[in-house]
Structures are given as structure tokens and as C-alpha cells.
Structure 1
Amino acid sequence: MSDVTPQSIRFLLSDMDGTLLLPDHSLSQRTIEAVRSLREAGVLFSLATGRPPKAMLQQIEALGVDLPTAAFNGGTIVHPDGSVLVAHYLPATAALTALALFADQADVEIWVFSGGDWLLKDPSGPMVPREQHGLGYPPVVVESFEPYLTRIDKIVATSHNTQLLIELEAQLLPKVEGQAQVSRSQPVYLDVTAMLANKGAALATLADFLGVPLEQTAAMGDGGNDPAMFHRAGLSIAMGQAEEAVKRQADVVTGANTEDGAAQAIEQYILNVD
């Protein structure tokens, strides 16, 4: 358990989906107001997500974020004007290994993110409408992922079969050890990114950029890609609906995203509102 006091937190880095956002990908008014109060109190605030940069723009505007944000689990950190602070691409060998493993699974859809585009081979996959709604833009249909191998930001295996994704994660990890990060950002998404494309490295990079010691940072999230920043932050906050394995790695657990848990955490653990 962290002994960080609310008064010592100077920077909060928060996940988006399952944390700040409701299941329909919207922001509640209470969450918007909590972030506004946080910033008015002089606490810096930014976002770290598995999403591409352009799929964050609506939330950045709604929350008034004026700092660099971390996309692709930290693989790309971009300034508010869209210029790149940091970019880490998945090694081609690791990408080929992941793509080969996923291609053998009938229940898995494979998506590749490169150059801001969402690439896929089958636009009729059952998970596509959900992703398009969340991202706010359509996919680009390609015949092959090979032309993009040198600039892949993220590969996603997605399926309603959560157990299958857990098994694929366990199978892939030893195959790409030292080359790539493999984690489930949500129960239905298995993400593969570069080794330095993780939210822990993103938190350290942003804290250094902002001149904030890591012990004065807080991190908040719900997915398997969030403990990487929990382990670096002075205060780590897990959402109430997170899997037990995620919650065990956080200092505190707040309410679920359906209960305005992010706003509760900001008020209770950072702003110290009674």
C-alpha cells in the first residue's frame, strides 16, 4: 500500500476505456467535472491508452487535456498539436510471429495499426462495429499486412472468446520475449506492441518531460496493460470492475467505471474531497 498523500500528487496519468469512459465510450458529467477540478487544483492530467492518437481527440477536447498523451499503450506519445514526442514500432520479426499465431485461430480477428490507420483483411468481422464506434473512424481493408511491417504501432487479436485470448497471450509471450509487450488491454483485446511501448515507460517519459518526480505521480486504469504504470507511479488506482489480477497490483481500488469510479478516485485520493 502506498504511503503517498493526496497533497503530494502533481500528475495523474489515466487510462481511457474502462476507466474514464462508460461502456458506451462516453464521458459522464461527473468525470468531466472531476478532471476540471483536478486541473484547477494545479494537478497535471493526461491520458494513456491502447487507442491510436486520432481516436483520442474527442476525449482530449472534452477533458481539456493540454499535455502530451500516450497512444498505443505508450508506443506513441504526441503533443497536443499532433507532433510526435516519442514513437516505438513493433519489430518486424515479432510482428510476423504474432500474425502467424493469430492467423491459425478461427475465432480471432486480426487488426494492425500503422501510420494512424486501422488495417484489417475482413471488414465483416463481428468485432468491427464495436471498434469503429469506439475509434470514431472506419478501417482500411488490405490484402496483406506485409507492406506495413516496418511501421507497425500495434497488433490486436480480438475475440469474444476471452479464454482463447488468455491462452494466446501465454503462448505468444515466450515467442517474443525481449522483442515485444503482450497484454490484454480489455478482456476481448490482446495487444502486441514494442518493448518500450508500455504505459510504465510512458508515465516515466511524461513525468520527466513535465519535471515531476515519479513518487508524485498517480496512475489509474482497469486493464492488463495498466499495471506497467501502476508499478512506476507513486499512487496506483484500479477500477472496481478490473480483473482481480489487476486490482492486486494497485495501491487502492475505486468504484467501477459504471459508478463514476474515476471521479470517485480523483475526489477521494487526489483532491481529498470529503
Structure 2
Amino acid sequence: MSRIALVISDVDGTLVTKDKRLTEAAQKAVARLRGAGIGFTVTSSRPPVGMRMLVDPLDLDLPMGPFNGSSIVDPQFVVLEQHRIPAHAAATALKVLADFSVDAWLFTTDHWFVRKLDGAYVAHEQSTIQSDPTAIEDFAPYLDQACKIVGASDDADLLERCEQAVQQALGHEALAVRSQSYYLDITPPGQDKGSFVRAMARRLGITTDAIATIGDMQNDLAMFKTSGLPIAMGNATADVQRQARHVSTSNEDEGFAAAVDFILKQQAAS
């Protein structure tokens, strides 16, 4: 195995606990990586604003990958790369979500639009990303600005069926994958957490084999397939765990810190 030069972590379900806390153990784990000369950054389905609360506690100094890695921002949130969903694909995705009666949100670089402020998981997302949405009746004026569209539902089985229908309707025009059991993310084509891994390898002048990734959901599989050392959380579903080289404990049991310790142990043995 190549020596690890960079660790890229998912955020929700991985780096933070179920109630979105960044634990002291997680912060100390990132410090241990730096002490070993290993870089650290994050990629997430969150918009850029939803990553702000991580920068200072983790002393992040490398580019980050919001919107499932389809955008890249620096620690001051200057946009380094940005991709958008084609307008016709955004319209198609919204129609399928409506056909399944799934609440839809639309994110631009700086705004979060919803149709209902009391819709499914809106309050939950407000707490998570520490930002408020804007309620609008019609998404049409923003279709050409969409960085991410989200379908939110408390019916996990329905959302899984909706995911398949959106994927079939979009083909290669956009990506559709669940970031949580209750969130279906539609993001720009050809851009995902795997492309973020490759972009970071280019920026740092390293190979993707020298990158370890930590995650828990289907949207993390793209970076698992691209990186040299993929690690799944203990709370990940069985299909995600099967794609990993190592399985840590859950995010409720300091699984991120345990994953970092595994990386450092592997490094010491190599």
C-alpha cells in the first residue's frame, strides 16, 4: 500500500455525530494526522456555508469539496471550481421528485430555496448547515444556477424508488444518489466525490493511491473506488462496508478517530 499523504473525510454520518457534534476526539485525531505529516480535508453533500463551522476547530487549510465534490472552495470559501446541473436536467429531476410527492430543494452557490418552510427535514437541515432557506413558489428562474437539487422524504423506501426513477430519467445528464436515507442528491454530471479525490491528487502532486477516504453512504462510494485506502464507518450500510478496505466503529462511537488511528497504524507498519 502506498504511504498515505492525504485523508479526505465525509462529514455527516462520519466526521460528526448523529446530532452534528464535532467531538474533541475527532479534533485531536485531525491534529494527529498533521503531526504525522498527513494532510486532511472534507467533502460533503453540504453547501459551502454548511462547512464553515468545521474550518476553525479543525484548522482546515486545504480546499474542500461541497455539493458532493462537484464544487471546490478554499478555506476562505473562495470558489476554485464550480459545476452546475444543466437546466433541462434540473427541470427533469424536479418533475420526477414531484411525481413521487417528494419535497424538493434547490441550492445555488449562495442560496437554498424551498417551496415549503415547514417541509420534510427543512428544520433539520437548518440546524445542520446553520443557514436558513428562502421559500419560493417556482424554481424555474434558478434552474440554470442549480449546484444541487435535493429530494427530502421520511419514507426511505419511497426515496430509494425515486432515486432509481431519477437516475433513469436523467441518464448521463446529472448524478442522482442518496447522501442520507432521507436525502436524494442530484448534482452535476461527471462530478462527484471521486472527481474531488482526483482533483486533490492533482493539486498536491500525489497519486490517488496516497489518499485515504472515510465515509458512510452511497455518495461516498465514488471516492472509495478512487482512493488507495477506503474506510467505511460502522454505521454504514452493508453494501457500503463491502466496498471498503477497513470498517471502523460508528460515528456515535468515535468511529472517525478510530479510522484515523487505523491509518496511522498502517502508516507506521509500512
TM-score range, shorter chain: over 0.9
Cα separation, 2, equivalents of 1:239 and 1:194: 26
1:248 aligns with 2:254: no
- Conservation of the 8 A alpha-carbon contact between 1:88 and 1:196: no
Q: Quick one: which of 114, 119, 122 aligns to 1:125?
A: 119
Higher-helix-fraction structure: 2
Q: CA deviation at 1:206?
A: 1.0
State the distance in 2 between where 1:167 and 1:173 align.
10
Find the aligned partners of 1:266 and 1:11 in 2 and give their Cα distance.
11
For 2:264 and 2:106, the matched residues in 1 are separated by 37
CA distance in 2, matches of 1:232, 1:13: 12
What is the aligned partner in structure 2 of residue 236 from structure 1? 230
- Structure 1 gaps of 5+ residues are none
Q: CA offsets, 1:175-217, max 9 Å, x none?
A: 1111111100011100000113300001100111011111111
Q: 2:141 aligns with which of 147, 156, 163?
A: 147
RMSD after superposition: 1.3
- Please tell me the residue identity of whatever aligns with 2:201: A
Shift of 1:83: 1.7
1:45 to 40, 44, 48: 40
Mapped partners of 1:80, 1:128: distance in 2: 26
Structure 2 SS opposite 1:231: helix
Q: Secondary structure at the match of 1:12?
A: strand
Distance 2:223 2:61 in 1: 21
Distance in 2 separating the partners of 1:270 and 1:103: 47
Distance 1:270 1:231 in 2: 21
Provide the rounded CA distance (Å) in 1 between the counterparts of 2:153 and 2:127. Answer: 16
Cα deviation, 1:146-176, whole Å, max 9, x if unaligned, reads 1111110000001110001100111111211
Q: Paired residue for 2:70, among 69, 75, 100?
A: 75
1:269 shift after superposition? 2.4
Pairwise CA distance, 1:271? 4.5
The amino acid across from 1:178 in the alignment is H
Contact 2:193 2:223 in 1 (8 A): yes
User: What is the DSSP-based 3-state SS (H/G/I as helix, E as strand, rest coil) of the residue aligned with 1:124?
Assistant: coil
- Asked if 1:259 corresponds to 2:253, the answer is yes
TM-score, normalised relative to structure 2: 0.96
Per the alignment, do residues 125 and 13 of structure 1 end up closer, same or farther by CA in structure 2, a change over 3 Å counting?
Answer: same
**How high is the TM-score relative to the length of structure 1?**
0.95
The one-letter code of the counterpart of 1:246 is: V
Question: Which 10-residue stretch deviates more, 84-93 or 15-24?
Answer: 84-93
Residue-by-residue CA offset, 1:40-61 (whole Å, 9 max, x unaligned): 2110100000001111011121
**AA in 2 matched with 1:158:** A
Q: 1:176 to 1:126 in 2, by over 3 A?
A: closer
Q: Structure 2, unaligned stretches of length 5 or more?
A: none
2:201 maps to which residue?
Answer: 207
In the aligned structure 2, how far is the partner of 1:177 from the partner of 1:270? 40
Deviation string for 1:71-122 (max 9, x for gaps)? 000111001222221111001111111100111233x211110132110011
| Equivalent residue for 1:90, pick from 85, 88, 113 | 85
Match of 1:62 in 2: 57
CA contact (8 A) 1:240 1:257 kept: yes
**Is the CA contact 1:109–1:127 (under 8 Å) kept in the aligned structure 2?**
no
Preserved contact between residue 227 and residue 246 of structure 1 (Cα < 8 Å)? yes
